[in-house]
């Protein structure tokens, strides 16, 4: 469980998405309910004006908070409380919400939640454009969601043009993050924004998420490597140790200075992280 308070000035979305990334890093468990201070800066360009609506919203699934931020509702988010036991219900009373947005996985708790405040459920999907529309409907911000999605799609088209002009389109790319003694990679539909939309070339046979060793990366030898920052310092693999590793230094991307350290949020499936990912790629390749 984590509590969020107004006045957050740190980056909620980075750590929020990191929790999603970590959940896919081989442990197979549900992401822990961690609460993090937040900021909506990553989506400033696509944030719609705030309309009057619920003033204190609690969500049971932290990606919904990211979507509320994207919709310009940061000040209304009172907290994120993952339901793990009956001990979590008193937290809702303390937060005193006027709206609870629950995941469709919380069906068994709806009766209890509705005793605390009006509760609506939103289906959780890996397609943030679908999910943000569900969250928007819960707070009567459907128009804001459509504006956000349309601006994102326009930006995506613009960045795709930048990538094509830079000559990067069709180059192989690998998106990884240090994990334990190796790396976690992301590919497939999860990274469609970078492969299908922007034009990087994926490697065949890779799953949406999986683990890979340094030797495995060497066999692939990608032309570009984007490596997420290990904010928790939980991996035995560090950038310092890699810089002294002959296998790492033999990689084409490293030798050609096409290895880039990125914020983990751009590796995730959420709205604000993908907007930030487009901005990052645009700046990186605009001058190429």
Top-tier CATH class for 57-146: alpha beta
Read off the tokens for 29.
């468990």
Question: What does the DSSP 8-state code read for residue 234?
Answer: -
Residue 288 has a pLDDT of 58
What is the DSSP annotation of 48-65? PPPPS--SSEEESSTHHH
Spatial distance between the Cα atoms of 227 and 259, rounded to a whole number of angstroms: 7
> For residue 213, what are its two tokens?
């060793």
Check if 57-146 and 159-285 are the same fold. yes
* pLDDT at residue 87 in the model: 53
* Cα Rg of the chain, angstroms: 20
| 3-state class (DSSP) for residue 82 | coil
Pair of tokens at residue 123: 């289906």
Give the CA distances from residue 48 to residues 38, 131, 145, 186, 225, in Å, rounded to whole numbers and listed in that order: 18, 17, 8, 30, 34
Closest CA to 200 of 142, 253, 240: 253
Q: Could you report the per-residue pLDDT of 44-65, keeping only the tens digit for each?
A: 334 444 456 788 999 999 899 9
CA distances from 172 to 99, 135, 211, 214, 223 (A): 45, 35, 18, 17, 5
Pairing between β-strand 224-228 and β-strand 2-3 as defined by DSSP bridges: unpaired
pLDDT of residue 2: 37
Decide: 77 and 104 in contact? Cβ < 8 Å.
no
Range list of H helices, the chain: 12-22, 63-70, 89-95, 110-116, 128-138, 142-166, 192, 214-220, 239-243, 246-249, 252-255, 271-285
Ranges in the chain, pLDDT < 50: 1-50
* Cα(110)–Cα(125) distance, integer angstroms: 19
Q: Can you tell me the distance from the alpha carbon of 102 to that of 263, in angstroms, rounded to the nearest whole number?
A: 28
184 Cβ contact list (under 8 Å, min separation 6): 21, 24, 25, 26, 176, 177, 209, 210, 211, 212
- Output the pLDDT for position 145: 98
Give residue 190's pLDDT. Answer: 86
- Spatial distance between the Cα atoms of 254 and 224, rounded to a whole number of angstroms: 8
pLDDT at 28: 36
Instruction: Decide if 78 contacts 4 (C-beta within 8 A).
Output: yes
The span from the CA of 255 to the CA of 268, in Å, is: 27
- The CATH number, out of the four listed (3.40.50.720, 3.10.310.10, 3.90.1300.10, 3.40.50.1980), of the domain defined by the range 159-285: 3.40.50.1980
Which residue has tokens 């030797």? 215
> Phi/psi at 50 (nearest 5 deg)?
-80, 130
pTM above 0.85, yes or no: no
**Domain coordinates of the chain in residue numbers?**
57-146, 159-285
pLDDT on residue 230: 86
DSSP conformation class of 211: E
Identify the sign of the CA torsion 96, 73, 280, 224: positive
Whether 192 and 200 have beta carbons less than 8 Å apart is answered as no
Tokens of residue 262, six digits: 């990125």
């Amino acid at each position: 469980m984590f509590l969020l308070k107004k006045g957050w000035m740190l980056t909620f979305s980075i750590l929020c998405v990191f929790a999603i990334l970590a959940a896919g890093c081989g442990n197979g468990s549900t992401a822990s309910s961690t609460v993090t201070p937040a900021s909506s800066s990553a989506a400033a360009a696509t944030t719609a004006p705030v309309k009057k609506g619920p003033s204190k919203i609690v969500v049971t699934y932290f990606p919904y908070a990211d979507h509320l931020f994207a919709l310009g509702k940061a000040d209304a988010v009172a907290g994120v409380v993952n339901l793990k036991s009956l001990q979590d219900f008193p937290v809702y009373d303390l937060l005193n919400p006027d709206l609870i947005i629950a995941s469709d996985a919380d069906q068994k708790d709806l009766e209890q939640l509705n005793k605390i405040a009006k509760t609506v459920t939103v289906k959780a999907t890996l397609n943030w454009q679908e999910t943000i529309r569900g969250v928007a409907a819960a707070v009567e911000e459907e128009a804001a969601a459509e504006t956000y999605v349309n601006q994102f799609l326009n930006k995506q088209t613009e960045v795709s043009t930048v990538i094509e002009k830079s000559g990067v389109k069709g180059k192989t790319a690998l998106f990884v993050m240090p994990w334990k003694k190796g790396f976690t990679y992301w590919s497939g539909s999860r990274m469609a924004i970078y492969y299908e939309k922007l034009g990087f070339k994926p490697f065949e046979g890779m799953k949406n998420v999986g683990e890979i060793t340094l030797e495995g990366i060497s066999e692939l030898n990608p032309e570009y490597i984007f490596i997420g920052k290990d904010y928790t310092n939980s991996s035995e693999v560090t950038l310092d140790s890699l810089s002294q590793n002959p296998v790492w230094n033999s990689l084409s991307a490293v030798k050609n200075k096409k290895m880039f350290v990125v914020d983990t949020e751009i590796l995730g499936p959420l709205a604000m992280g993908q907007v930030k990912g487009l901005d990052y790629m645009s700046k990186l390749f605009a001058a190429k």
